[in-house]
Amino acid sequence: MPSSVRYLFDSARLQRDGAVRWREPIPSKAPGVYVVSLGSDPDSISETLSSAAISPTAITQLLGARPKLTVDGSRSDVELLSLRVAEFWLPDESILYVGLAGTSLRDRVQAYYSTKLGRRSPHAGGWFLKLLENIEDLWVHYAVSDDPGGSEHKMLDAFVSAVSPAAKRALRDPDHPFPFANLEWPRGVRKQHGIRGATGDARSGGPGATQTNQMKPSAPRRRIPRDVHVGQISAYIQAELRRRNRGEVTAVEAARWLDEAGLLRDSQHRRGLPLRNLLRAGLIEGQRQEPNSRWFIDRVATH
């Protein structure tokens, strides 16, 4: 039986706090979980579409930003990529994505809104959603949670368990009937969509990079010590985010992880300073700076 938004929140024993239209800010800055749905009614299971309304314009933008994107190992075009993404649509479901916010619902969902197609950060997860023509008609339902990772897991488990056998058979990957835009659940278990290279880091100077992000690495004048292994540090933070089932981490908390692991000694006087120096240099995968200047590292989707 299809899942309603309320059913998913109930499965995690959460009280739904509200809903906003796509691109509207969520008022809560507390940690929590959110559900992107075709409708505003949390009890409805009838607000569905028989097929995915894939936007050729969005597909073209993605291929322009990621020209090396492949489908099943071959370079793609608009038609092939559109067909492949559409094969993961569940026609009897109104729920398209379930996500978590480890620190602030408002900030995390805003990061989702603002992430451009082809970009890995600040929020690469759920990028299938950005390919829909009707994205502006979607709704974001949300609930505060003391354990966002655990709540998200329960909600996705409830969704997957409720998908009908007929709906599963219609999917390209019937073994992983996640919501349309959820590409991985649980950690390390991914939809077999065959798409590679759809998101990347603008620091590489690829077509998806903005001038500001291209310039960031050269702006700081701080000298990085020779014994600092940036690649190992980035990999460790991403591994910890996945192990802890977290979507993001503040720079101060990540600095503590690195200090405890012996990878980057933290400052005793200015907590997080050594890691912030790396962030200012644009060297950490998934890094993000909020308008209030606070640094975060987002969990990066694997491909």
What CATH number does residue 246 fall under?
1.10.10
Any domain includes 183? yes
Q: Both 24 and 104 in a single domain?
A: yes
- Count CB atoms within 10 A of the CB of residue 208: 22
Region of 229 (left: φ > 0; alpha: ψ -120 to 50; beta: rest) is beta
Does residue 291 surpass a pLDDT of 80? no
The answer, yes or no, to whether residue 155 has pLDDT greater than 50, is yes
What ranges make up the beta strands (E) of 161-278? 195-196, 248-250
Decide if 214 is inside a domain.
no
**In this structure, are residues 179 and 98 in contact, taking their beta carbons and an 8 Å threshold?**
yes
Domain boundaries, position 243: 220-298
Q: How high does pLDDT run on average in the chain?
A: 88
pLDDT digits (tens, 9 = 90+) for 43-99: 999 999 999 999 999 999 999 999 999 999 999 999 999 999 999 999 999 999 999
Q: What percent of the chain has pLDDT over 90?
A: 64
Q: Let me know whether 177 and 227 are in one domain.
A: no
| pLDDT recorded at residue 212 | 33
Distance CA 102, CA 95 (A): 21
Domain-located, residue 91: yes
The 10s digit of each residue's pLDDT in 250-288 is 899 999 999 888 889 888 888 889 999 899 888 898 898
Two structure tokens written together for 163: 């998908």
Residue 207 has pLDDT above 70, yes or no: no
The reported pLDDT for the residue numbered 227 is 56
**Boundary (domain end) residue, out of 156, 172, 203:** 203
Higher per-residue confidence, 129 vs 209: 129
Strand segments, DSSP code E, in the chain are: 18-21, 32-37, 70-71, 74-75, 95-101, 139-144, 195-196, 248-250, 287-289, 295-298
Same structural domain, 29 and 127: yes
Q: What angle do CA 282, 283, 287 make, to 5 degrees?
A: 65
Please give the distance of CA 238 from its chain centroid, rounded to a whole number.
13
Confidence at 226, pLDDT banded by 50, 70, 90: low
Same-domain check for residues 263 and 131 = no
Q: Note the pLDDT tens digit of each residue in 99-125.
A: 999 889 999 999 999 999 998 888 878
In this structure, the answer to whether residues 11 and 125 fall within a common structural domain is yes
- The residues pairing with 296 across neighbouring beta strands, listed in sequence order, are 250, 288
Global pTM value? 0.69
Residues 163 and 75 in one domain: yes
115 DSSP assignment: P
Among 83, 86, 93, smallest CA distance to 167 is for 93
For the chain, how many structural domains are there in total? 2
Residue 128 domain-assigned (yes or no): yes
- β-strand partners of 159: none
Query: In this structure, are 194 and 253 located in the same domain?
Result: no
Terminal alpha carbon distance of the chain: 30
Examine residue 213 and state whether it is found in any structural domain, yes or no. no
Measured between alpha carbons, how far is 57 from 131 in angstroms, rounded to an integer?
8
